[in-house]
Chains A and B, each alone.
Chain A
């Protein structure tokens, strides 16, 4: 979960592993204060999310904008791993907070209310980010991949 969130956010395996290790070391120090398994899961998601944003800001990782993302050679199928790869790239090109919200929504299958709690922001803001991100991704898919069918 931790590594996966970090990897989808940073799109860099060594950085994601370093971040995940930091999260687990912090967990080791904080574990006595956590009361249940659910609490641990909530804590891990929250700390990972905040560390992802901090890490990105600190390292100033290059961010590919949607417009700069390369165009595919031909329309592809959604079951194709290449489609999944392109979607990951599109998600990685989203701004920090919308990207994190999309990852928590579709990787962790979290509800907007839970995402709002983890990121300490209003539910309406989370929903708004989600809608805008989906619209942006749909637009990008249409523009770059043509008719993607399943």
Chain B
């Protein structure tokens, strides 16, 4: 029989026995998960809110509104200019086509006239050669 209060090793063994690991209560993991899930979604919400929180300051909010308005106005003007240029281009194209058609018909007319003149003119007769030129 050995007394634990006199033998250091036995006291240490008794402490190991008294302080051996205990299992967590039943359902512990589920309770941790139940707490973790709302925290995870709250963290996501906070991250999203931190993005939007920059608009909580009036100066930044109005700056953002002004920037969006300016972008819309500039975009509108650019779009209208683009539309106008397209319309002008289309009109110029139509005019060019018309001009080409007119020019084509005029050319055809002129060609017909030239042909008509050529057919109505008599054939030129060949001339005699001089004797001087022969010697």
Binding site for B on A (CB under 8 A): 1-4, 7-8, 13, 17, 20-21, 24-25, 28, 78, 83-85, 87-88, 91, 102-103, 106-107, 109, 134, 137-138, 141-142, 145, 147-150
Contact = CB atoms under 8 A, between A and B. Distances in A.
Interface size on B, as a range, is: 20 to 34
Given A17-B24, A20-B24, A102-B19, A138 B10 contact: no
A137 B15 contact: yes
Q: Indicate the member of A1, A83, A106 with the most B CB atoms within 10 Å.
A: A106
A149 B15 contact: no
Interface of B: 1-5, 8, 10-12, 14-25, 28, 31-32, 35-36, 39-40
B27 to A, nearest CB: 10
Given A107-B20, A138-B5, A148-B5, A87 B15 contact: yes
A8 B21 CA distance: 9
B25 A150 contact: no
Contacts of B10: 78, 150
A3 B4 contact: no
B16 A106 contact: yes
A137 B11 contact: yes
B19 A103 contact: yes
Nearest to A109: B16
A87 B18 contact: yes
B19 A106 contact: yes
Nearest to A8: B19
B2 A149 contact: yes
Contacts of A141: 4-5, 11
A150 B17 CA distance: 13
Given A17-B28, A78-B10, A149-B3, A91 B22 contact: no
